[in-house]
Amino acid sequence: MSIFTPTNQIRLTNVAVVRIKKGGKRFEIACYKNSVISWRAGAEKDLDEVLQTHSVFVNVSKGQVAKKDDLTKSFGTDDQTEICKEILTKGELQVSDKERHSQLETMFRDIASIVAEKCVNPETKRPYTVSLIERAMKDIHYSVKANKSTKQQALEVIRQLKESMEIQRAHMRLRLVLPAKEAKRLKEKLKPLLQVVESEDFDEELEMVVLVDPGCFREIDELIRCETKGRGSLEVLNLKDVEEGEEKF
């Protein structure tokens, strides 16, 4: 006895689905797990390593392939490989609740690690532990956004945590050397960007050791290069002005 299998059905296993809605219809492609993120990050260039098949579906789990007419109406072409590329780039990756939860947990830890690495208690200059930052994030009910980078979110967390605890980005220690001719004028321009001036020595040129917020580094560097036409210099002495030991509550 033969079993009839509809010709527009394809069965696939261990699949990651990427979905897009276009022209009022839903289209899906079947990819290998973990390959979609590699493709979007530019790490994977071979389409055959990403796609399980170059077919476009209306429903991957049921194996229902999209009709050519619907593809042409929605995408302006029936070239399935080109359509797969578009869905891969613009579509939404479907993940199970368990996978999503695991992904968000990992991102939560990564964000806490970045915050702990970049920040200190401004009074003691000591860094916070990752677990303490995680607790503080839970206290403010921080909700991880899967579509934003952990670095972006870490900066957002720092802003939010400032409202409930003593925290700031660790300062960078820089040595600035300014030609005598421009020193006075340039020092006034730099003033708003400097947190602390630790030392100042004026001989043939002005040499300063200063603490700055890391977010101002690029602006200070550009200001010195442009205003002194390359005659001034900037040297990083410490990436983080931090005391030994960890901050504990």
Nearest of 80, 78, 59, 60 to residue 69 by alpha carbon: 78
User: How do the domains of the chain map onto residue ranges?
Assistant: 16-94, 97-168, 171-238
Q: Is 246 helix (H, G, I), strand (E, B) or coil?
A: coil
Q: How far apart are CA 86 and CA 36, in angstroms?
A: 12
By DSSP bridging, strand 119-120 and strand 168-169 are antiparallel
State the pLDDT at residue 122. 87
- Per-residue model confidence (pLDDT) at position 246: 58
More confident residue, 37 or 89: 89
**171-238 CATH fold:** Alpha-Beta Plaits (3.30.70)
247 backbone dihedrals φ, ψ, rounded to 5°: -75, 135
pLDDT tens, residue by residue, 110-144: 999 999 988 999 888 889 999 999 999 999 999 99
% residues pLDDT > 70 (the chain): 91
Tell me if 16-94 shares its fold with 171-238: no
Instruction: Specify the fold of 97-168.
Output: Arc Repressor Mutant, subunit A (1.10.10)
* Secondary structure element (H or E) that encloses residue 102, with its range: helix 97-118
**Tell me, what's the pLDDT at 8?**
53
Model confidence at 1, in pLDDT bands (50, 70, 90)? very low
What is the dotted CATH code of the domain comprising 16-94? Answer: 3.30.1250.10
